[in-house]
């Protein structure tokens, strides 16, 4: 069987003709298999969605209970038969509930990894290597210049700044799903146990993570009422990047603007956002992790999607691995 007979890119998303499902469709379809809860992968309006229980719960939190006509949950390690196609689910290490989806029929096995990272993350199950014939990889940081530093060093920068500027609020921009909870968990691992203040837009997702036994320590709402602005001096406040542009951010005393993102390695981006303290924390694989993962899967062929596709395709070719870009549109990770 040719791989394109089993899975092929279409304008609606990756489509599996023999089984009739789409993976992470960008437009409503009858049957959607969803890798994770970020908005560019998980959309509302499908007739039926199959995803991990965590992803289904996250979709319900973000879109409301009626986000799909029907839903069905898939647990890691489970193998399901969908119209004669074997589908199994494996952790992707990207955010809570994130999955790689393995699709197999006859002698062909393709793994769609969605977004993934290889680093240890206290808020989600670690990436699992799945041997396959064709590996579909993201390429968000698919250039050799991208090398993510150690998470602990980035968190140490934040805690050091708190010590140096005890009169200033430290305002950390982090996306509401995944990044925010990971930043909080890493701060806790570094031994900081003061309350952390969170923007209202993060409340529900943080509570959901806590309900899944992910310890985030003491969280309090980052609301300033009346004259108690001073209570935020020397405190950590976490808010979504969108909140930094509005009045909310100006309520805090002389804030140090921090931003947690893999893009913080790029000076132009930190400047553009007016970031004083960049924290290079990514939920995506860096260049070495992308290439290592491709090797680990033993795939004979690689399809590259969303990101810097050309460099990774070229790397595969230089390493005698057949490769092509998928050129799919609609996947711009909100979480970086
Ligand atoms: Zn994502």
Note the pLDDT of residue 271.
87
Note the pLDDT of residue 143.
95
Note the pLDDT of residue 334.
58
Q: What is the pLDDT of residues 50-75, one digit of tens each?
A: 999 999 999 999 999 999 999 999 99
327 vs 181, higher pLDDT: 181
Q: What is the pLDDT of residues 265-286, one digit of tens each?
A: 888 888 888 899 999 999 999 9
The mean per-residue pLDDT over the stretch 146-165 comes to 97
Note the pLDDT of residue 227.
61
Q: What is the dihedral of CA 44, 113, 286, 117, to 10 degrees?
A: 80
DSSP state of 245: G
Distance 79 CA to ligand 1 centre (A): 23
Note the pLDDT of residue 330.
82
Distance 162 CA to ligand 1 centre (A): 30
Distance 99 CA to ligand 1 centre (A): 10
Residue 334 parent element (H or E): none
Distance 39 CA to ligand 1 centre (A): 8
Average pLDDT over the chain, rounded to whole? 94
The mean per-residue pLDDT over the stretch 159-176 comes to 96
Dist. CA 40–CA 36, nearest whole Å: 9
Nearest alpha-carbon partner for 248 in 269, 221, 209? 221
Backbone region of residue 55 per phi and psi (left: phi > 0; alpha: psi in -120 to 50; beta: other values): alpha
Distance 334 CA to ligand 1 centre (A): 7
Distance 124 CA to ligand 1 centre (A): 13
Q: Please say which residue of 241, 260, 279 terminates a domain.
A: 279
- Domains held by the chain: number: 2
Q: What is the pLDDT of residues 106-116, one digit of tens each?
A: 999 999 999 99
Q: Are 128 and 163 found together in one domain?
A: no
Distance 11 CA to ligand 1 centre (A): 19
Note the pLDDT of residue 300.
98
Note the pLDDT of residue 14.
97
Nearest alpha-carbon partner for 105 in 89, 86, 79? 86
Residue 319 parent element (H or E): none
Note the pLDDT of residue 183.
98
Neighbouring residues of the ion ligand 1, judged by CB less than 5 Å: 38, 115, 333, 335
Dist. CA 85–CA 16, nearest whole Å: 9
Q: What is the pLDDT of residues 181-205, one digit of tens each?
A: 999 999 999 999 999 999 999 999 9
Tokens found for residue 4: 């394109």
Distance 140 CA to ligand 1 centre (A): 10
Q: Supply the range of the domain harboring residue 255.
A: 151-279
Q: Which residue has the tokens 């870009």?
A: 325
pLDDT band at 140 (very low <50, low <70, confident <90, very high): very high
In degrees rounded to 5, what are phi and psi of residue 287?
-55, -50
**310 domain residue, yes or no:** yes
Here the CATH number for the domain that contains residue 109 is: 3.60.15.10
Q: Are 266 and 306 found together in one domain?
A: no
Nearest alpha-carbon partner for 104 in 128, 129, 79? 79
Q: Is the pLDDT of residue 226 over 80?
A: no
pLDDT-wise least confident of 128-137, 208-217, 256-265: 256-265
Q: Please say which residue of 279, 294, 312 terminates a domain.
A: 279
Distance 290 CA to ligand 1 centre (A): 15
Distance 51 CA to ligand 1 centre (A): 14
**334 domain residue, yes or no:** no
Note the pLDDT of residue 332.
75
Q: Are 64 and 32 found together in one domain?
A: yes
Distance 38 CA to ligand 1 centre (A): 5
Q: Are 173 and 274 found together in one domain?
A: yes
Tokens found for residue 174: 């982090």
Note the pLDDT of residue 335.
60
Note the pLDDT of residue 218.
98
Terminal Cα distance for the chain, rounded:
37
**335 domain residue, yes or no:** no
Q: What is the dihedral of CA 62, 334, 50, 32, to 10 degrees?
A: 110
Here the CATH number for the domain that contains residue 160 is: 3.40.50
Note the pLDDT of residue 268.
87
Q: Are 8 and 134 found together in one domain?
A: yes
In degrees rounded to 5, what are phi and psi of residue 284?
-120, 155
pLDDT band at 15 (very low <50, low <70, confident <90, very high): very high
Q: Is the pLDDT of residue 219 over 90?
A: yes
Strands ordered across the beta sheet of 322-325: 79-82, 85-91, 99-105, 108-112, 134-139, 301-307, 322-325
Note the pLDDT of residue 235.
96
Helices (H), ranges, 114-261 = 151-164, 179-189, 203-211
């Amino acid at each position: 069987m040719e791989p394109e007979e089993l899975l092929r890119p279409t304008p609606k998303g990756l489509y599996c003709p023999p089984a009739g499902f789409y993976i992470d469709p960008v437009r409503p379809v009858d049957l959607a298999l969803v890798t994770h809860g970020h908005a560019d992968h998980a959309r509302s309006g499908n007739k039926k969605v199959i995803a991990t229980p965590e992803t289904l719960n996250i979709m319900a939190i973000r879109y409301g209970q009626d986000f799909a006509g029907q839903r069905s949950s898939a647990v890691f390690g489970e193998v399901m038969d969908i119209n004669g196609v074997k589908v199994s689910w494996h952790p992707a290490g990207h955010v809570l509930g994130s999955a790689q989806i393995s699709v197999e029929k006859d002698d062909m096995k393709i793994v769609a990894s969605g977004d993934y990272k290889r680093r240890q993350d206290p808020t989600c199950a670690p990436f699992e290597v799945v041997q396959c014939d064709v590996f579909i990889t993201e390429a968000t940081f698919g250039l050799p210049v991208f090398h993510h530093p150690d998470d602990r060093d980035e968190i140490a920068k934040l805690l050091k700044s708190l010590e140096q500027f005890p009169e200033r609020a430290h305002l950390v921009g982090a996306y509401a799903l995944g990044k925010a909870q990971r930043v909080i968990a890493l701060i806790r691992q570094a031994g900081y146990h003061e309350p952390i203040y969170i923007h209202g837009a993060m409340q529900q997702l943080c509570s959901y993570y806590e309900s899944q036994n992910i310890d985030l320590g003491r969280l309090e709402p980052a609301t300033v009422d009346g004259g108690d602005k001073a209570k935020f001096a020397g405190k950590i406040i976490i808010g979504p990047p969108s909140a930094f542009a509005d009045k909310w951010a100006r309520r805090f005393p002389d804030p140090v603007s921090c931003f947690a993102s893999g893009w913080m390695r790029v000076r132009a981006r930190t400047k553009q956002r007016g970031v004083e303290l960049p924290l290079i924390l990514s939920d995506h694989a860096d260049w070495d992790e992308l290439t290592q993962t491709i090797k680990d899967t033993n795939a004979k062929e690689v399809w590259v999607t969303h990101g810097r596709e050309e460099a990774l395709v070229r790397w595969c070719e230089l390493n005698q691995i057949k490769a092509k870009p998928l050129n799919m549109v609609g996947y711009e990770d909100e979480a970086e």
